[in-house]
Chains A and B, each alone.
Chain A
Amino acid sequence: MADLLIGSDQANDTERVAVDGIVEGYGPARVEEHARMVRGGGQRRHERRHLLLPALHALQHSEGWISPGGLNYACEQLQVPPAEAYGVATFYEMFRTDDPGHVDDVVHVCVDGPCQVAGAAQTIEALKAEGKHVHASPCLGQCERPVAQFIQGRRRPDNVEADAFVDPAESVPQKGDPGLRLLRRAGRIDPTSLESYIGAGGYKALAKAFERGASDVVEQVVTSGLMGRGGAAFPTGIKWRGVAAEPGGQADPSQPKYVVVNADESEPGTFKDRVLIETDPFAVIEATTIAGFATGATKGWIYIRGEYPLATERLENAIAEAHKAGFLGDGIARSSFNFEIEVRRGAGAYICGEETALFNSIEGFRGEPRQKPPFPTTNGLFDRPTAINNPETLVNVLDIVLDGGDEFAKIGTETSSGSKLFCLSGAVNKPGVYEVDFGATLGDMLELAGGVVGDLSAVLLGGAAGSFVTADQLDLPLTFEGVRAAEVSLGSGVVMVFNTDADLNAAVVRLAEFFRNESCGQCVPCRVGTQRQHEIAVDLFTPSGNAARVANPAQTFDDLDRVMKDASICGLGHTASTALRSALDLGLLSIGDNEQGGRE
């Protein structure tokens, strides 16, 4: 501790116990011999830095904020400079670094998408009137039941206002449909019981994977044509092949390789991974284990968003149960394969769904994306080769291993193989997660969800980073090739429906505000670009705005769109203007449509 200068503020006993629980719980210190730094210096050799995020969670949970004394104590234990730890703490929505002045729970209320339309503002007012401490939150991933709430507990577990989650049929209206693949167990097994999972065919795929051998598993995934379901649609098999070819891992555990599950599902309108994990957590654990076996990885990490307490609990339970039964740990199922999985909770930051930002977050740094190249397959988590996949993507692998890549490739269309989870929300009769084989059109999906409530105005396809489409595009096939031809994107499978009662101007202004709030702030085009985009959207599209303030709005939006797409570091900046641009291009908004001014 000699070379860190830590201030004189002292932690109280509660804070000490909270931090000690994290440090002690982790066991002996881990040394990364090859923790070579992206930014130079010896810092990453501090082997406990990756415990910073869990320690901050523990402090927030114990006192309702991260106090100077608490931060100092964590820094001393983890050997992290206080200024850097403060930089990390202030990065996340769920942490606060000022004394809240109360000791109550905090109710996070979603103000995005369907929750905005359903009256989030009134919900917030009503809760405040009840004396609750309320925090307006970006999308909470419970879009099938607006207005979504998440309760951040102080010294008691976090929770959601959750009556609806008792019955999975609320979130999976197709529950029990024999055509389901990814959702076949949803609502039909006890998600907390390994026995129940095995009884429904669980862990047959892992046995089959051992039988096939690692390289055959990779080749089956390549043959299957499986594309990533997180939004980028990168071929999963190619990614795995890259990681499998890197040295280290199972062959030399002193040079680890990793599998990371990106369950930081934060794209507004997306809740499929939450539902998948809540209803079938063992499937995610089994698939992650297979990914580890196939790529030769030594450890799996599941990074799950902080606002998903039930999914987190079920994953942790599944890992513990799998361990007890010998499906995790050393010599899995009497093989020579050793594999562990650790769950890490995010703390409220959309950007941490970007893969390299996610790595930085786990490592205890600010969740700022890294410039690529190098790519995660060679330089990922802790600068080691890493296969990072979305939970839905991984669960597909179970069938691929069991049935073979060729069989899987027959499902769906020629270039979009398999089935896809879609998140239907907003103005449909039965919102929820729906699974269809690739090939269904937008109109099919709306029908599946019980049809539109009222008259269709527009659909936000792909999430906040996606595009609006209108009623004349109901024939659009929701396949990778279909959306590419229409110059839109599937994103994470969001189908957010607005009817003519919804205020699209307000929705678009909120989208602009979302990106402004969620930009990490690292690069200028995104940090300042999202700010200006929001300011100008407020001026043009809200009653209180001053449209005359913007000299040439169309040109300005165009320039912001171009600079963010061309010059931002990561996908957040690249897509921050897409939805707004599409709404403008479709004529869903009229510039200057407010009381103060008109278009020049």
Chain B
Amino acid sequence: MSANGHETPVSLTIDGQRVTVASGSSVLDACTEAGVATPTLCYSENLTPVNACRVCVVEMEGSRTLVPSCSRQAEPDMVIETDSERVRHSRKTVLELLGSGVDLSQADELGQWVTHYEADVERFGAGRATMEEPIRIQDELYIRDYDRCVLCYKCVEACGDDAQHTFAIAVAGRGFDARIRTEFDTALPDSACVYCGNCVAVCPTNALQFKTEFDLREVDNWRPEEQSVTRTVCSYCGVGCNLELHVQDETIVKVTSPADHSVTDGHLCIKGRFGWTYVHGA
């Protein structure tokens, strides 16, 4: 930090290209600055990086192992490779491992990276252990389908100290047997859950879904490409949360908030997230 309190920008090399980013930026930020697309799964701009998924790893000169770009701070004169054989190998194998145990069919963004790195999710042979979890439908607001869960910790972070401070869920168990759980797997309505739906908003694989979306998918009538998104301001109180109403067949099917919105950081409360049925007079 310089004498006037402004931090000095950091210059580093990404794939041979010199980039300069603000002090405190991550290597991932620097990659973005360099125009390099990076796969991420557990990273989100409105959550603290937990660097658990390891799909964003890059090669850093001087480091014995690869480093997670999302949580590693950019330092002056770092030399980073994002497309070396080692990086491609790790990203590809991580995607293969994930795909071998979890249903990624609704993880749209991740699916593109599976194709990009030519990951073969079948390579470990048939009949390997998977999450093997029943779908939990315990209320009319959202469902939990942990067969799709990649344990990215995002829902835990959003429920906990990154947004809601409710702490209704945590990771329980260990290793491959780890799962997202309320205490003793208590049903959500009996847990500390306040139904803000912030966990649903950050889930990258659709393991957490609006019940409306789930029901439409069940009858094969979920058509995101035909949905319109209308931005508006929540009418319940004076905070001014921005809402994005996702509408299909002139019916609201889910509500999100922009992650970069100055008021919400993408997070809402139960009213903004789920309290829209009155629009349809129901």
Q: Report how far A374 CA is from B150 CA in the complex, Å.
A: 26
Is the contact region of chain B dominated by helix, strand, or loop, or is it mixed? loop
A85-B183, A519-B176 known; A528 vs B97 contact (CB < 8 Å): yes
Pair A532/B128 contact, Cβ less than 8 Å: yes
Pair A567/B125 contact, Cβ less than 8 Å: no
User: 8 Å CB contacts to A: which residues of B114-170?
Assistant: 123-129, 150-151, 157, 160-162, 165-170
Which residues on A sit within 8 Å (CB–CB) of B264?
none
Pair A41/B54 contact, Cβ less than 8 Å: no
The contact of B48 among A40, A550, A559, A568, by CB within 8 Å, is: A40
Interface string of A481-511 (1 = CB under 8 A from B): 0000000000000000000000000000000
Classify chain B: how many residues form its interface, as a range. Answer: 35 or more
A3-B165, A535-B128, A567-B94 known; A349 vs B174 contact (CB < 8 Å): yes
Closest to A92 in B: B174
The contact of A566 among B48, B66, B162, by CB within 8 Å, is: B66
Pair A39/B94 contact, Cβ less than 8 Å: no
The contact of A37 among B71, B98, B150, B161, by CB within 8 Å, is: B161
Q: Report how far A520 CA is from B167 CA in the complex, Å.
A: 20
Closest to A39 in B: B48
Pair B65/A574 contact, Cβ less than 8 Å: yes
A39-B48, A41-B165, A536-B124 known; A516 vs B175 contact (CB < 8 Å): yes
Pair B89/A519 contact, Cβ less than 8 Å: no
Is the contact region of chain A dominated by helix, strand, or loop, or is it mixed? helix
Closest to B170 in A: A87
Pair A528/B101 contact, Cβ less than 8 Å: yes
Within the complex, the shortest CB–CB distance from A397 to chain B, in Å, comes to 28
Cβ-based interface call for B105 (8 A): no
Cβ-based interface call for B93 (8 A): yes
Pair A567/B57 contact, Cβ less than 8 Å: yes
Interface string of A566-579 (1 = CB under 8 A from B): 11110000100000
Cβ-based interface call for A522 (8 A): yes
User: 8 Å CB contacts to A: which residues of B5-61?
Assistant: 48, 50-55, 57
Interface string of B239-282 (1 = CB under 8 A from A): 00000000000000000000000000000000000000000000
Cβ-based interface call for B205 (8 A): no
Closest to B157 in A: A39
Binds A, one of B184-192, B195-203, B223-231: B184-192
Cβ-based interface call for A560 (8 A): yes
Pair B66/A71 contact, Cβ less than 8 Å: no
Pair A549/B125 contact, Cβ less than 8 Å: yes
A563-B89, A566-B65, A568-B54 known; A521 vs B177 contact (CB < 8 Å): yes
Pair B192/A567 contact, Cβ less than 8 Å: no
Pair B162/A371 contact, Cβ less than 8 Å: no
A37-B161, A39-B161 known; A530 vs B65 contact (CB < 8 Å): no
- Could you tell me how many residues of chain A have their Cβ less than 8 Å away from some Cβ of chain B? 58
Pair A4/B125 contact, Cβ less than 8 Å: no
Pair B183/A518 contact, Cβ less than 8 Å: no
Binds B, one of A76-84, A276-284, A414-422, A581-589: A76-84
Which residues on A sit within 8 Å (CB–CB) of B176?
516, 519, 521, 527-528, 530-531
Which residues on A sit within 8 Å (CB–CB) of B238?
none
Q: Report how far A517 CA is from B129 CA in the complex, Å.
A: 14
A68-B184, A539-B125 known; A83 vs B90 contact (CB < 8 Å): no
Pair B172/A86 contact, Cβ less than 8 Å: yes
Closest to B95 in A: A524
Cβ-based interface call for A544 (8 A): no
Cβ-based interface call for A525 (8 A): yes
Cβ-based interface call for B62 (8 A): no
Cβ-based interface call for A385 (8 A): no
Q: Which of A521, A550, A562 has the most CB of B within 10 A?
A: A521
Q: Report how far A68 CA is from B185 CA in the complex, Å.
A: 11
Cβ-based interface call for B182 (8 A): yes
Cβ-based interface call for A448 (8 A): no
Pair B71/A371 contact, Cβ less than 8 Å: yes
Closest to B71 in A: A371
Cβ-based interface call for A101 (8 A): no
Within the complex, the shortest CB–CB distance from B171 to chain A, in Å, comes to 5
A521-B178, A527-B176, A530-B176 known; A86 vs B170 contact (CB < 8 Å): yes
Cβ-based interface call for A556 (8 A): yes
Which residues on B sit within 8 Å (CB–CB) of A42?
161
Q: Report how far A41 CA is from B192 CA in the complex, Å.
A: 18
Q: Report how far A71 CA is from B182 CA in the complex, Å.
A: 13
Q: Report how far A517 CA is from B175 CA in the complex, Å.
A: 6
Which residues on B sit within 8 Å (CB–CB) of A40?
48, 161-162
Q: Report how far A406 CA is from B93 CA in the complex, Å.
A: 49
Within the complex, the shortest CB–CB distance from B212 to chain A, in Å, comes to 26
Q: Report how far A84 CA is from B168 CA in the complex, Å.
A: 8
Closest to A43 in B: B161
Q: Report how far A567 CA is from B58 CA in the complex, Å.
A: 9
Within the complex, the shortest CB–CB distance from A570 to chain B, in Å, comes to 10
A523-B52, A567-B65 known; A87 vs B171 contact (CB < 8 Å): yes
Which residues on A sit within 8 Å (CB–CB) of B97?
524-525, 528-529, 532, 563
Within the complex, the shortest CB–CB distance from B82 to chain A, in Å, comes to 14
Pair A535/B52 contact, Cβ less than 8 Å: no
Which residues on B sit within 8 Å (CB–CB) of A91?
172-174
Cβ-based interface call for A551 (8 A): yes
Cβ-based interface call for B181 (8 A): yes
A7-B190, A520-B174, A563-B94 known; A528 vs B100 contact (CB < 8 Å): yes
Cβ-based interface call for A90 (8 A): yes
Pair B192/A556 contact, Cβ less than 8 Å: no
Within the complex, the shortest CB–CB distance from A245 to chain B, in Å, comes to 20
Cβ-based interface call for A200 (8 A): no
Which residues on B sit within 8 Å (CB–CB) of A565?
65
Which residues on B sit within 8 Å (CB–CB) of A556?
123-124
Within the complex, the shortest CB–CB distance from A79 to chain B, in Å, comes to 11
Within the complex, the shortest CB–CB distance from B96 to chain A, in Å, comes to 8
Q: Report how far A489 CA is from B22 CA in the complex, Å.
A: 42
Q: Report how far A87 CA is from B169 CA in the complex, Å.
A: 9
A40-B161, A559-B93, A567-B66 known; A549 vs B178 contact (CB < 8 Å): no
Closest to A40 in B: B48
Which residues on B sit within 8 Å (CB–CB) of A7?
183, 186, 190-191
Which residues on B sit within 8 Å (CB–CB) of A574?
65
Which residues on A sit within 8 Å (CB–CB) of B171?
87, 366, 521
Q: Report how far A567 CA is from B177 CA in the complex, Å.
A: 20
User: Given known contacts A527-B175, A532-B128, A565-B65, what 9 new A-B pairs fall within 8 Å (CB)?
Assistant: A40-B48, A81-B160, A84-B167, A90-B174, A520-B178, A522-B52, A532-B97, A551-B123, A567-B94
A interface residues, Cβ below 8 angstroms from B:
3-5, 7, 37, 39-43, 68, 71, 81-87, 90-91, 97, 349, 366, 371, 516-525, 527-532, 535-536, 539, 549-551, 556, 559-560, 562-563, 565-569, 574
17 contacts between A and B (CB under 8 A): A5-B192, A7-B191, A39-B157, A41-B162, A41-B165, A43-B161, A68-B183, A371-B72, A519-B174, A519-B176, A524-B53, A524-B151, A535-B128, A550-B124, A566-B66, A566-B89, A567-B65
